[in-house]
Amino acid sequence: MTTQTTAPLSPSAPVEGAPKGFIGLPATVGRALATGGSALAVVSTFLAWTWTSEYPGDLTVYGYPGGLQVLVLIGGLLSVLLGLASYGLWGLGRLFPGSADAALKLAVLGTFATAWYTVVDISAELGGVVNLEPGAYVVALATLVALVGVLALPFTWPEPEPIDPEDTSWEQFKHHRRQNWAVVKASVAAKSPGPAPQRPAFVDILVIVAVMAVGLIVFTYGIGTEYDQQFIGFLIIVGFGFGALAKAGLVARVSAITARHRTLTMISAFVAAALFPFTQSDDQYATIGVYILIFATVALGLNIVVGLAGLLDLGYVAFLGVGAYTSALVSGSPSSPLHVQWPFWASALCGAVVAMIFGVIIGAPTLRLRGDYLAIVTLGFGEIFRITVLNMDGTSGPDVTNGSNGISSIPNLDILGFDFGQEHTILGFTLARFANYFLLMLLITLIVVVVFRRSSDSRIGRAWIAIREDETAALAMGINGFRVKLIAFALGACLAGLAGSVQAHVTYTVTPEQYQFAHVVPPNSAFLLAAVVLGGMGTISGPLVGAALLYLIPAKLQFLGNYQLLAFGLALVLLMRFRPEGLIPNRRRQLEFHEETEAPAVLTKAGA
């Protein structure tokens, strides 16, 4: 029997009847324009974009990019690299196993948006285009040419096979999607060079270290942006750049490597995070870092309840408040009616245990409910907690929490003679107050990550997932649904209480207003739930990344004023529309949202 094969077409080969882009140019011309325009944009970053240093970033220097020019430089270099990969030059196709054309489109769009945003903002801020220097005109023209080039790249919509005319329109739509995806997979398989050879273990280790180093650089750059325009450009480049690398298949390849070395990846990630305070010259951005870790740790605890067990908890921030108030009461604060000062390990343990007890008390009578009814009850518990501590002021109730004044003047921690409120010099680096608390909170986060990972991989973790997927089927298989859900509720509350114990000392004061369902400044129940959904439910890294974004972006977008939440909500809507499974999805959830995705032989673990 003879097997007939068809040689794969090169990206530049003309095909009769081949699909075209939005404009009528050939695809080869489009790739050339996109690559050449991006290269010219890179050159333009070494020219002056304005004549005055009044615009932030000092874009007046020739030969040295600064401010937003650096971001355009990065976007341009990525676009050039993907453009060369689309031609298959220098073996770049092996580095980017996905769709180079789709990745090139996103990279060019990100570079174009950043460049034109900068040019328009310079004109608006300084009073007209007369303030632009030649470099600004060059980058505007170059990115426009690159945009025209990517608009010429083809969009493939293959003709679907005939289907049953009695199918509903929704079934027809899904059938079209499956057919389209099958053609795309066949095209990628045809261009694939075959199974990749086995890599030495040290290569995977180097890849993981490099990824963590890049992550640290990106996070440090983002958190250290000095002005609003630079942060907006940073968001544009990072968003489109991540999308381009995902389309190119690089994200999937790195994810496969990290999945094979989960322990090494976790250790590398925490080492990279521990290096963050040593990259800072003062406490300005370490402050944001420690609050991000508090937010991320609580979000990871909520991920046990929502992501693994599938329980919609809208009052989870109350458990953070329980831990914070418990720790504050035994912290030695002069406004505490108990007038005792326990060591940190005792106060942290007490905060976690008291929060767990509250989780059992609240969960026992309510966890027999499902869905919206459970969400309403937990929302009510969050409000009950806030109102209760507000009324325990000695007038409306017993004098325990000082009402709206809260418990103030909470002293800094002192562990084994190490005062977290004082500056300390380590290896020649000076760590101030918030840097000290950042390292302590990082240790707490590591504990929570280990608990989450061990729990999700255990028998009880598999029971949580079974309850989440189909509670009726899980009960029919002999799983004690009430007991399993109560354990998830209690464990999640315990982890939130542990984080609250540190938060009390970081903020100096705990008040009822900090623990509302919706509040301008996270953490609150709404932002916590959004962090879990945005990052990816049922994963470890998802809520950590989601919490970091949800805290960092509002902190940097304060200049929007009353429009801050509008912009934030719009961004969430767009993300849920185009990536409903989250930024770092669990494999099972990704299969739920994308039926055309081929299921692997063995699903990754829930905590991946």
pLDDT, tens only, 522-560? 667 778 888 888 888 888 888 888 888 888 887 777 777
Q: How far apart are CA 337 and CA 394, in angstroms?
A: 11
pLDDT above 80 for 262: yes
Domains of the chain listed by start with CATH number:
27-158+202-254 (no CATH), 285-420+432-593 (1.10.3470)
Long-range contacts of 218-227 (CB under 8 A, 24+ apart): 219/276, 219/548, 220/276, 220/279, 222/552, 223/285, 223/288, 223/289, 223/552, 224/280, 224/285, 225/556, 226/56, 227/56, 227/57
* Most distant CA pair in the chain, distance: 92
Q: How far apart are CA 39 and CA 81, in angstroms?
A: 10
Q: How far apart are CA 603 and CA 600, in angstroms?
A: 6
Cis-peptide, bond into residue 600, ω within 30° of zero: no
Q: How far apart are CA 579 and CA 566, in angstroms?
A: 20
- Non-local CB neighbours of 370 within 8 Å, separated by 6+ positions: 471
pLDDT, tens only, 58-75? 898 888 898 899 999 999
pLDDT, tens only, 183-214? 445 554 444 444 445 666 778 888 888 999 99
pLDDT above 80 for 111: yes
Burial 17-46 (b: 16+ CB within 10 A, else e): eeeebeeebebeebbbbbbbbbbbbbebbe
Confidence of residue 7 (pLDDT cuts 50, 70, 90): very low
| Beta-strand pair 414-415/418-419 | antiparallel
Q: How far apart are CA 202 and CA 58, in angstroms?
A: 42
Apex 240 CA angle, 301 and 137, nearest 5? 145
Please give the pLDDT value at position 38: 94
DSSP letter string over 322-364? Answer: HHHHHHHHTBT-TT-TT--B--HHHHHHHHHHHHHHHHHHHHH
- Mean pLDDT is lowest, of 228-232, 311-315, 384-388, 513-517, for 513-517
Q: Which residue has the higher pLDDT, 58 or 566?
A: 58
pLDDT above 50 for 602: no
Please give the pLDDT value at position 592: 59
Cβ(154)–Cβ(269) under 8 Å?
no
- pLDDT (average), residues 11-18: 43
Q: Which residue has the higher pLDDT, 570 or 308?
A: 308
Confidence of residue 158 (pLDDT cuts 50, 70, 90): very low
The residue among 435, 433, 409, 406 whose CA lies nearest residue 422 is 433
Q: Tokens 């290896």 correspond to what residue?
A: 427
Token reading at 448: 């929570």
- Non-local CB neighbours of 302 within 8 Å, separated by 6+ positions: 313, 316, 492, 496, 528, 529, 531, 532, 543
Please give the pLDDT value at position 66: 87
- Mean pLDDT is lowest, of 14-18, 64-68, 433-437, for 14-18
Please give the pLDDT value at position 432: 85
Confidence of residue 136 (pLDDT cuts 50, 70, 90): very high
- Rounded percentage of the chain residues whose pLDDT exceeds 70: 82
pLDDT, tens only, 160-190? 444 444 444 445 545 555 555 454 455 544 4
Please give the pLDDT value at position 41: 95
Token reading at 143: 């990115």
pLDDT above 90 for 115: yes
Confidence of residue 8 (pLDDT cuts 50, 70, 90): very low
Q: Residue 412 to residues 316, 506, 512: CA-CA distances in angstroms?
A: 26, 8, 21
Q: How far apart are CA 599 and CA 608, in angstroms?
A: 16
Please give the pLDDT value at position 161: 43
Q: Which residue has the higher pLDDT, 374 or 497?
A: 497
Please give the pLDDT value at position 307: 86
pLDDT above 80 for 496: yes
On average, the pLDDT of the chain sits at: 81
Q: Which residue has the higher pLDDT, 567 or 260?
A: 260
Please give the pLDDT value at position 170: 45
Token reading at 452: 């989450």
Please give the pLDDT value at position 165: 45
Confidence of residue 590 (pLDDT cuts 50, 70, 90): low
Cβ(206)–Cβ(35) under 8 Å?
no
Token reading at 70: 């650096």
pLDDT, tens only, 120-133? 999 998 888 888 99
Please give the pLDDT value at position 443: 92
pLDDT above 90 for 604: no
Please give the pLDDT value at position 159: 42
- pLDDT (average), residues 23-39: 87
Please give the pLDDT value at position 92: 67
Amino acid in position 339: H
- pLDDT (average), residues 297-311: 89
Q: Out of 148-152, 350-354, 546-550, give the one with best mean pLDDT.
A: 350-354
pLDDT above 80 for 310: yes
Long-range contacts of 120-125 (CB under 8 A, 24+ apart): 121/229, 122/49, 122/50, 122/55, 122/59, 125/54, 125/55
Q: How far apart are CA 233 and CA 246, in angstroms?
A: 20
pLDDT above 70 for 412: yes
Q: How far apart are CA 139 and CA 217, in angstroms?
A: 25
Helix count and strand count (H, E) for the chain:
22, 4
